[in-house]
Structure 1
């Protein structure tokens, strides 16, 4: 009787462990845990802290709970340290990411200005930029956590770096397909210029700090500083600006992210990061490649 119970327990443990070997199972568990915490927390905060006065607190609290619930999943299911959420030890990556995001967008607008398409009309109170800080922080953190920390990282475990990069990049691009002014090209553009670049950065560092910082500074620079539409959403930042010229160069209503110039410049940056990741030996093989090797 006792031995039967022990064997049943062992079989149950083995079954449980086998189930967690599947990437899809772990991904669904992560989505369930993080998504449930997000849904419940936002519902409760909307109920007990309603109104526009609490919107910043609600968003920042939801973001914090999102990070904590992801860390809880990793420790509970994957049973390891959450190294991808390193903070103080990744200070160089935070700094470099902030600089890279600003430089890239300034390069895009500088090029459009030289072509006579980007124009500065005036200035607003610099304090107007402050309202965008929490917005773009939350957007950058939650999007990178989901698309790079969850989709890319988990898919990479079984399908390898190349396939995972393509899946996460396309998912990221077409997640913006319902935004104002979005087109098929704008979705592909986001996939190429951001999906691949951010995925390559994660491959290179194996941490999310660089991704968080570059994503935030890119959005903040274009929306809060230059008042350029961020993925189709209009922004009224510090500088009063407008664009003239064909949509394929300016990005049209979607903003400069849908410009072929941005796709080229950001795409080249992505290629550089991919090369650095490859040189560092960060490309992981797919399970079928591992089988062939054996």
Structure 2
């Protein structure tokens, strides 16, 4: 059942999805504004596509692509893999739930980072930063037991990164963007050709995003704690 992997689709689930979408937009917009103000990027055009496909059609296809990527990757890496790792670690009775979930978060996030190692312009730094991004995405799941926050955040982070602001997303450049940009700043900070996910500015955004997720869950639920369904299989 999809509900076992974070798809209960309650009112709270949809609120979390909306929060994730807004958070991804805010984080990537902040990166764009900071880099633009610092002179690390140069705007080269608007509403561009390098194919013969009309801009509106290419824009829509890009949006649908990132919806698919956000749902499928979160279902696989957080909903399925993280959950099964946490449940597996709990077979060792001396491992506490917190340790089991922590180990599952780190393991699944490392796999997330390694999964991008063959992308264009990937570096050890990009693998590390994407692993941190996996921890940010996992935080919403382990605190709520639902995939609303990570799916929303994953979709808008990717979509605004490349389709709106023209950065490379994990080293990949889509043939459509609202604002075409060219990197000019130090690679250590901006991530260079790989995009913000390989630079310190990406690390900063991920740290802020993780804090925002914790604050949101605290606001919505009144407190925060690890959700037991992450490591406890439902009995039917």
Q: TM-score range by the shorter chain?
A: 0.7 to 0.9
113, 133, 140: which one aligns with 2:70: 140
CA RMSD of aligned residues (A): 2.2
**In structure 2, what is the equivalent of residue 93 of structure 1?**
16
Tell me, which stretches of 5 or more residues in structure 2 are unaligned? 49-54, 90-99, 232-236
TM normalised by structure 1 equals 0.65
Report the CA distance shift for 1:209/1:275 in structure 2 as closer, same or farther (over 3 A): closer
Cα-to-partner distance string for 1:43-67 (whole Å, 9 max, x where unaligned): xxxxxxxxxxxxxxxxxxxxxxxxx
Cα-to-partner distance string for 1:147-183 (whole Å, 9 max, x where unaligned): 1011111212243111111111111111100111101
Report the CA distance shift for 1:273/1:133 in structure 2 as closer, same or farther (over 3 A): closer
Residue 109 (structure 1) aligned with residue 47 (structure 2): no
Cα-to-partner distance string for 1:213-232 (whole Å, 9 max, x where unaligned): 11011111111111211111
Tell me, which stretches of 5 or more residues in structure 1 are unaligned? 1-70, 75-80, 288-294
**In structure 1, what is the equivalent of residue 224 of structure 2?**
280
Q: CA deviation at 1:205?
A: 1.7
In the alignment of these two chains, the number of paired residues is 206
**In structure 2, what is the equivalent of residue 10 of structure 1?**
none
176, 192, 195: which one aligns with 1:255: 195
**In structure 1, what is the equivalent of residue 6 of structure 2?**
84
Q: Runs in 1 of length 4+ with deviation above 2 angstroms?
A: 86-89, 271-279
Q: Could you tell me how far apart the structure 1 residues matched to 2:88 and 2:5 are?
A: 20
Task: Specify which structure has the higher proportion of helix.
Answer: 1
Report the CA distance shift for 1:262/1:243 in structure 2 as closer, same or farther (over 3 A): same
* Structure with larger Rg: 1
Alignment of 1:189-208 (within 5 A): 189-192=129-132, 194-208=133-147
Tell whether the 8 Å contact from 2:144 to 2:227 is kept in structure 1 after alignment. no
